[in-house]
Structure 1
Amino acid sequence: MAAVSQFDCHGQIRCGTISVSSLEKSLTLYRDYLDFQPIEQGKLDKQLASLWGLPKMTGAAYVVLQAPSGGPSLIRLIEVPAIKGFVPATSYGWSAFEITVADVFKLAEKLENSDFKIVGPPKLVDGFTSFIPMQVFGPDGEILFLNQVNHSDEDADLPLAQCNVDQLFIVVLAALNRGAAVLEYEHSLALDQAATHHLRYSLINRAFNLDMDTKQSITMMQKGRSPFAQIDQYPPNAVVRPCHDGWLPPGNSMVSVLVDNIDELPIETKIIATPAAPQGTIYQGRKTALIRGAVSECIELIQIA
């Protein structure tokens, strides 16, 4: 079993949560095809469900996964009732998790016979040599960007994979108003606005039946040189993500991020419920609070000290 990593720095992604309809099926998929190892499994307790403002989720089955490298960023799968008609890459909220991999072409071959659907085969992105991305849909509409990192960018440190499929290092937000979302993360979470790019974005163009040469705008959010989020401007015909009342939304459903001090952030009116100190691998008894972003995305804050 991989070692449980210690807490590190403000803005570090601690966990990306994915809502799945069958925990057993998804656990097998992520373990057998992406090599993630289960390090904690159980049922969501009342304290955590209340912290999220989602009491109906008490008792929901979950598993926490870690890459064999033992990296600090984790993946959590939580069993949530499926929603008919949910279409990935067409709604606002957390849209994808970017994970660093050693050989994206070899991984693509492995995934061909799996329940992951490759929607963006490995290829270089306009103007970038630092990584080679591959985009896949999971069986419950979650999106993973499986990126072979070749080197860091001029203004950002990108992690080289220490195993075949390593850790989550960037989360992707589908925004109604990209500029407003950027300002929100700057103000509320004390993150730094980095580069904005205008590029051909096959995932969005395909989802909205746009010409494949259509350029979309994205802005990167960092803390210093450490990447945190990619904020995508979604087309005007994107929709609010469907969600069962009292449950996490489908697909990529929550992001947990480390912060220096919850009380020093200007988020008092945004906190969903009284902060608590949950136990378990992700939290380790640290003070934790949940806020909602501009498109109701769930942002879980875990205090370092």
Structure 2
Amino acid sequence: MFSFKLLLLVTVLTTDLSGTEQTYQDFLHYQTIETGVVSTELAKLWQDPELAGQPYSIMQAASGKQTYLRFIETEKKITRQQPGWTAIEILTQDVDKLEKELNPATNPASPFTIRGPPAWLTDKQNVKAMQVSGPAGELLYLSQIKDPSKMITSNQSTDSYVDQTFIMVAGSADFHSALSFYSEDLGLKPLGPFPYKVAVLADQLSLPQDTVFDLSLIKVTDTFAIEVDSYPKPLPKYSGTIHSISLLADIKEGMKKPAGKKLKSFPYNERSVLMLNGNAGEKIEVILP
């Protein structure tokens, strides 16, 4: 089993790299810290050979935290039999102010689409979030937290107006199989299920707005968690632009280090990388010392 330390990367595909970069700079105050092209070795590891040679940019929140977004330019569309990664949840200090800046109704220059306005997620009123579609078609949950100590990511802090990713969302029409990957293969403990109304998900699945979905939360580190949503019915196929996540990890004592691929580029920095595939279709890089 692994001892996970940090969510290092979230990788998103875009048909317009420069436009996506500019949007994240102008509206979310992210900065580009590295550019390059996808190596043949990395594309092979992903089992996506068509991504070899494609340009990418790695962006960082204004807080300077070492959880990055990597955007890769490609015409490739992600299609799969399982939903895989469906949303990126990012911290903000003021979700109501941010909504006005991202909403085309109040800011015609915004390329974002508001999918759900700011609202408290529960009656406890600890997390207020909105949902938006970004320039690459990615679904973002932008969340403001009152008291991080009450969260599963209890060591969380929001140190810039828009900060880093703290939850990744995956979906599955086979909920228990999806969770078994995290519990049995990775040794993590799923919590729940918790019943929630998720309007964005109901829209996607053409279900009534008041549909209740089961979801589970899985603590990966003190600052990062994974949410798995249960889909009440499968679709013939799924598409999206969120490609994968990358987790920095150590090997637990007594475990033999698995064979991985050493990659030179930032932020791998000559470390060994494994590719895991979850039962919900989600791709996970594990980066080892």
Deviation, 1:296, is: 2.6
Deviation, 1:67, is: 0.5
Aligned to 2:198: 201
Aligned to 1:256: 246
Q: What letter is aligned with 1:222?
A: K
Superposition map of 1:26-45 within 5 A: 26-45=20-39
Q: CA-to-partner distance for each residue in 1:15-35, whole Å, 9 max, x for gaps?
A: 111110110111111111111
Q: Give the Cα separation in 1 of the matches to 2:76 and 2:96.
A: 31
Q: What letter is aligned with 2:264?
A: Q
* Residue 240 (structure 2) pairs with residue 240 (structure 1): no
Alignment equivalent of 2:71, drawn from 58, 69, 77: 77
Aligned to 1:99: 90
Deviation, 1:180, is: 1.5
Alignment equivalent of 2:270, drawn from 260, 285, 289: 285
Contact 1:120 1:202 in 2 (8 A): yes
Q: Give the Cα separation in 1 of the matches to 2:219 and 2:18.
A: 34
Q: Give the Cα separation in 1 of the matches to 2:253 and 2:20.
A: 36
Q: Which moved more, 1:225-234 or 1:96-105?
A: 225-234
3-state SS of 1:206 partner:
helix
Unaligned runs of 5+ in 2: none
Alignment equivalent of 1:65, drawn from 59, 62, 85: 59
Q: What letter is aligned with 2:8?
A: R
TM-score by length of 1: 0.84
Deviation, 1:186, is: 1.6
Aligned to 1:187: 184
Q: CA-to-partner distance for each residue in 1:164-201, whole Å, 9 max, x for gaps?
A: 10001110001121222111112222222223310111
Aligned to 1:125: 121
Aligned to 1:302: 287
Deviation, 1:266, is: 10
Q: CA RMSD in A?
A: 2.5
Deviation, 1:294, is: 1.1
Contact 2:171 2:229 in 1 (8 A): yes
3-state SS of 1:260 partner:
strand
Alignment equivalent of 1:163, drawn from 140, 143, 160: 160
Alignment equivalent of 1:109, drawn from 96, 100, 115: 100
Alignment equivalent of 1:141, drawn from 130, 137, 147: 137
Unaligned runs of 5+ in 1: 1-8, 243-249, 269-273
Q: CA-to-partner distance for each residue in 1:202-244, whole Å, 9 max, x for gaps?
A: 11122223222221110000136554200001131434324xx
3-state SS of 2:119 partner:
coil
Contact 2:263 2:271 in 1 (8 A): yes
Contact 1:40 1:281 in 2 (8 A): yes
Report the count of equivalent residues. Answer: 280
Normalized per residue, the structure richer in strand is 2
* Residue 227 (structure 2) pairs with residue 230 (structure 1): yes
Q: Give the Cα separation in 2 of the matches to 1:16 and 1:171.
A: 9
Deviation, 1:265, is: 7.3
3-state SS of 2:120 partner:
coil
User: Cα 1:104–1:239, aligned 2, differ >3 Å: closer, same or farther?
Assistant: farther
Q: Which moved more, 1:161-170 or 1:210-219?
A: 210-219
Deviation, 1:286, is: 1.4
Q: What letter is aligned with 2:248?
A: L
Superposition map of 1:11-22 within 5 A: 12-22=6-16
